[in-house]
Each structure stands twice: as C-alpha cells, then as structure tokens.
Amino acid sequence: MTDKQRNFIQHIIDKDNLSEKFDKRVHTRFPPEPNGYLHIGHAKAICLNFNIAKEYGGKCNLRFDDTNPVSEEIEYVNAIQDDVSWLGYSWDDRLCFASDYFNEMHKYAIQLIQQGDAYICDLSSENIRQSKGNLTEAGKNSPYRERSIEENLKLFSRMTSGEFKDGERTLRAKIDMSHPNLNMRDPVMYRIIHANHHRTKDAWCVYPTYDWAHGLEDSIESITHSLCSIEFEDHRPLYDWYLNRLGVYHPQQIEFARLNLDYTVMSKRKLKKLVDKKHVSGWDDPRMPTISGMRRRGYTARAIRDFMNEVGVAKRDNIMELAKLEYYLRQDLNKISERRMAVLNPIKVVITNYQKNSSEMLEAINNPENSSSGVRDISFSRELYIEQNDFMEDPPKKFFRLAPGREIRLRYAYFITCNEVVKDDLGNPIELRCTYDPKTKGGNAADGRKVKATLHWVNAQDSINATVNLYDRLFSDPSPDSAENFLTVMNPNSLEVSSKCMLEKSLLEFAPGETVQFERLGYFCPDLITSEEKPVFNRTVTLRDSWSKITKG
C-alpha cells in the first residue's frame, strides 16, 4: 500500500508511533450499545477497529456500552458477539462492559463534585433542554448550579441510595452555559433510573450518560485511539474536558464518516420500529440491513469485508450504492457457490418417446468457476418440470425458449421439441408434451445442429417441493430517510413467497449458512428457521443487478 492509499487514521497513528505518543502501542475498541442488533453500518466500524489493531500488531476490545438498563437486553449482547465473530474477528479475552466500571465512574463523579466541577440539578429533563438555549442564544444557569460541595455530595449519595424517583434529580457537569458547543452547556452525567440491569441487576439506580461513560471507559481500558463516527465530533471537547478535569490517562478520539446505503435506513430507532410494528418478521428478517438479517439471507462475511475495503475511510459522510455491496456479494458467491437446478414456477413436461417407468443418471458440473468442486449425478426421466415463463404458446420474435414446434436444449440432458400443449378449463397451459433426441445426450447434437436456448429443469420423479422466499429491497425510495414517514416508502414487493417450487433432490444436503446458485435464477440459501413440512430457501441476490435498469430507465 502506497502512502497515498493509506487513510487519514493510519497517517495519524503513523505520526503517533513516530513520536512515541502512546509508546508505539495501538489499542482500539468496538463499543456497541446492546439496545438492538448490529447493522451494516456497524460492520464498517467493526472492520476498521479490528483491522487497524491487526495492522499495527495491537489489540481491539469488544466493549458493550450498557449504561441504559431500560433499552438493553442480554439477547442483544449475545447477537452482537455472534455477529462480530461471524465477520471474522476475535476479541480474545478482551470482552468488556461499561457496567464493569460503574464503581470507578461513580468515584470519578464524586471527584468532580469535590472539585466544584459538578452539581445536583432538580430541573426536569424538559426544563434542562429548554434552558440549554440554541446556536444563537446562550443557555441559562440552573437555579441549583451554586449548591455547595457538601450539599451536592449529600444529594448524590441520596440519589445513589434510591431516595428519589426517576427524573427527580440529575448530576450535571459545571462547564459553561454560554459555550458555543451545546454539548458543553452543563451536560447531564448521571440520571436516576429504577430499572433492572441485565448484568448488575438492581445494584444501581443511578446510571452514567454515554458522554460521561465514553471517555472513562476508553481511559480505564488504556485505549490509544478511540475511533468514533462523525456525529461524535462535536462531543470530543466534552470527552477531553472530563478526562482533563479528572487528570486521568487520555486516549485520542478520532472521527470517521459513517456508512450510508441507498434504499436503506440505518437508524436503530427506525429499525426497531420496523420490528415492533411487525413490518418485518424480526431483527434477523432477511430484508433488514442487520448483520443477522444478512447472514440469514446468505451474505458472506468476505463480501462484507471486501465492500468495506472499497468504501474506505473518509472524514465526511457519503451514500454508497447498495448495488455495489451486491456486486461484491455476487463476486464472492460466484466463486464459492455450487450450482443446482430449481424450478420456481413449474409446468410439467412429458417426454412422450421416453420409456415409461425408466430413468437414467446424467453428469452435472458443481461449479464451473472451481474445478475442485467436482461433478454430481442428476436423474432424468419421462416427466420433468421447467419454468412456466420458459414456454410461450405464441412467442414474439425474440423469444428463443420453448414453443410449439421448437427445439431447445435441457441443461446437461437432451434436445427436446414441443409437440402438444395440454390446457386446463380456462385455457391455461398445464402440460407440455415433447419428444427428445436420444442422440443429443449431454446437450450436443451429433449432426452439429444448434439451438438458441438452454433451459434448466428438474426430474418430476424425485424432485422436492419447497417454499422459496424471494427477497428484494425493503424500500422503493433510494432515500427513505428523506421521506416524511419512512414507512410510506416501503417496497410492497420486498417479499414474494412461492410454495410450489420444485428443487433438485441434492439441495436437501445444504445447511443454513451455505449458499447455492439456482442456475439462471440467482443465489439462494436454506433458511435458518426450518420448516417441518418442507424445506425453505431464501433468495440471497439475483444473478444480475435488476434495480439499475429500473432506476435509470
């Protein structure tokens, strides 16, 4: 990698190592809040923090910022660990929690009170918000700002012992209510929350705010470079103020641009609303941009990591195309996915000149991109299924697939010619009666004649019936966050369920997490949620980007 190819964070760390600012140490952390599942935006932060640590021979902690017991659950803690591990990263023995440091944070809060740098405020959260002012108007000092150190210490002790109700009092830093940065206008450090914490249970009823806890966690863990997304840039002066006033070890906070994708919402609040309002089946719905949802859909960790390398690290936010992520996914799946045949909307084909109650085995290639994947045997008999849209009774000029009197090739099998169409009472084709040429076994004619179409198929004799979920983009608008109500631009066709699909028998051998290419149709994987009635497969991605044609057309 040339000097120009290195990102600005690497340049900062290179300079720090030259000056021995942190004794040439590099120690990062990924600090999720366990109040929801991780999404693709978090994957950028995960890759960045763990990769930076690896590049410099350093360490990266996985730290849960569990400072709000109301919104946090052990389910989220477990899911986050699963996702980080699945992406290919290990935190070794460095699994940390903000709650590990509650005692130390509390002692540091008492230190600030003793220094005259913090006070107990009786204003409600709404009154505090109103007194903050705005960018053009200074805030107003709290009437409780000049309480004595002794009174503040007593009140904080009473808060901690549970004498007050939720929201009745807060501990605030005493900084400057006219500061141009609103985050510096006497921010709240502790609030009263009578709720059971997933780790500390009911040991505490006062909990630190994120801004108070953030810098202390980094300091306690001896983090060198605290990498944060760009919205924390305005919080850095507060991060610095707390650590400087306490006189403790001071890491360096560096902000980078968040990942934004078109056709996607990244707000945890909005994603939770989708889940709570049952617009999706859960956090791991394959349409969700959560890592769990993408895993269930069949995404690979390598594709996500490759995409993050393409995104790179910048200082300002931009919007990446979802199509680019899907490009890296197809690139990876094309190399690793075995091929199988599946028919999503079947119509029966009867080979009238093929012997009844007979069958034979044909050889099929598992993956033409990977010779080591070998070959497999597929069965062929008198009755088959093909896709309904691969047949037209009265085809237009450029339709080259099966039609009355036309000859086509069946993949790995024979040339067949359609001779008769059987219809139902409504005139819809329900069966095609064809003849085959036994001299074209393997798909090539001995006399050298050519056909213009090759169709996939399955043997009706031993194919399996399955449900296939055809997932598409959850939103039809490329900028759903710009809509007045993001729910109004949901894609009504984001899920199509097909229960009549007929699949090659060998697809039963694939397990959840294994992706396979249905020839001519796309990439699919067995659903993590199994069905006792029949197999369920999810479409991971189509073979080609169909959305670019829609949006540009």
Q: Which of 59, 72, 61 is nearest to 22 (CA)?
A: 59
Computed from CA positions of residues 508, 514, 519, 520, in that sequence, does the dihedral angle turn out positive or negative?
positive
Q: Retrieve residue 106's tokens.
A: 């509390």
Q: Would residue 427 be called left, alpha or beta, if left means φ above 0 and alpha means ψ between -120 and 50 degrees?
A: left
Chain mean position to CA 30: 16
- 236/228 Cα distance (integer angstroms): 10
CB 321 within 8 A of CB 264: no
Contact 474, 490 (CB under 8 A): yes
Distance CA(203)–CA(207), nearest Å, equals: 11
The position carrying tokens 């896709």 is: 387
Tell me whether strands 27-30 and 59-64 are parallel, antiparallel or unpaired: parallel
- Burial of 321 per CB tally in 10 Å (0-12, 13-18, 19+): middle
> Which are the catalytic amino acids?
33, 258, 268
CA pair distance 63, 88, nearest whole angstrom? 17
Give the closest residue to 190 by CA, choosing from 203, 201, 205, 202: 205
CA distance 521 to 503: 12
Which secondary-structure segment (H or E) carries 44?
A: helix 40-55
| Alpha carbon distance 440, 351 (integer Å) | 14
Length of the chain: 553
Site of tokens 């763990």: 50
> Contacts by 394-402 with C-beta closer than 8 Å and gap 24+?
400/452, 400/453, 401/453, 401/455, 402/432, 402/453, 402/455
Q: How many CB atoms lie within 10 A of CB 508?
A: 12
